[in-house]
């Protein structure tokens, strides 16, 4: 991951404090400017569904009040492993990897980017390279032939899920083709496309759109074709 700039961190902390003060003016009695993991108490927690990929918990929580009391709320949360999402760029040909597969949430044969779940204890960059090779058969020729441009880690839907998407752009100088490894019920197509083709098809997954927008900014800054 990129190193943290101390000046940027200090600036962000100052801006956050200013914004918190503005939001506090509309406080309805719940104290929200402290770290939630220290101020919100879990009263009860029950797993009400356990599937192949995620579980669902029904929770009763106590939110901290400005008067020293607490307010009880009920929430359901979908527990999901973190994932990696990659926009993959072949620098020599200025092409990008695009995928298509059936997505049950949107009920579409959807265009998207290589992505997948991280294994327990797995780091972000090794997970990205593993998923890329498994889904597309693409792997950097050497460790020096890939540059990771980390966009950030974002919750896919923080109101209902704890899935954290690690979004990045992978710039490949040289790559090799290796066998793909799909799960028995996984069916994914992939192809190298031009930037015009990538941005000309309807990509509907928000995490993929974030990666593409990030790359759009890079291309604009470097004077590339957008």
pLDDT at position 182 is 87
Residue 94 is predicted with a pLDDT of 97
- Please give the pLDDT value at position 176: 98
Predicted confidence at residue 4, as pLDDT, reads 62
Residues 58 and 102 in one domain: no
Report the chain's C-alpha Rg in angstroms: 21
Residues 118 and 215 in one domain: yes
Number of domains in the chain: 2
Question: What are the Cα distances from residue 6, in Å, to 2, 51, 87, 180?
Answer: 12, 42, 28, 42
What span, in angstroms and rounded, lies between the C-alpha atoms of 217 and 226? 9
Residue 226 in any domain: the answer is no
Instruction: Count Cβ atoms below 10 Å from residue 3 Cβ, excluding itself.
Output: 5
**Which pLDDT does position 174 carry in this prediction?**
98
On whether both 194 and 98 belong to a single domain, the answer is yes
Same domain, 97 and 127: yes
**Is residue 125 in some structural domain?**
yes
In degrees and rounded to multiples of 5, residue 32 shows phi and psi of: -115, 0
Q: What is the mean pLDDT of each run of 10 residues along the chain (226 residues)?
A: 70 92 92 80 97 96 92 96 98 98 95 96 98 96 98 96 97 96 90 98 97 97 82
pLDDT of residue 30: 92
Does residue 1 form part of some domain?
no
Same domain (yes/no): 129, 55: no
**pTM for the full predicted model:** 0.90
Domain that holds residue 20: 6-79
Pick from 61, 79, 97: which residue ends a domain?
A: 79
163: domain CATH number?
3.90.79.10
């Amino acid at each position: 991951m990129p190193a943290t700039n101390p000046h940027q961190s200090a600036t962000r902390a100052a801006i956050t404090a200013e914004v918190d003060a503005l939001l506090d003016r509309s406080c309805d009695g719940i104290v929200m400017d402290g770290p939630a993991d220290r101020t919100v108490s879990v009263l009860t927690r029950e797993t009400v569904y356990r599937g192949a990929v995620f579980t669902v918990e029904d929770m009763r929580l106590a939110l901290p009040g400005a008067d020293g009391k607490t307010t009880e709320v009920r929430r359901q949360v979908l527990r999901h492993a973190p994932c990696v999402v990659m926009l993959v760029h072949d620098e020599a040909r200025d092409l990008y990897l695009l995928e298509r597969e059936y997505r049950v949430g949107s009920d579409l044969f959807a265009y998207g980017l290589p992505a997948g779940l991280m294994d327990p204890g797995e780091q972000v960059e090794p997970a990205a390279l593993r998923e890329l090779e498994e889904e597309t058969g693409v792997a950097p020729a050497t460790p020096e032939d890939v540059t990771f441009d980390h966009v950030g880690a974002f919750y896919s839907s923080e109101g209902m899920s704890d899935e954290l998407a690690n979004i990045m752009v992978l710039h490949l100088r040289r790559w090799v083709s290796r066998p793909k490894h799909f799960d028995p019920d996984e069916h994914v197509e992939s192809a190298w496309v031009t930037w015009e083709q990538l941005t000309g098809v309807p990509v509907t997954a928000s995490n993929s759109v974030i990666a593409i927008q990030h790359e759009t900014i890079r291309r604009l800054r470097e004077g590339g074709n957008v």
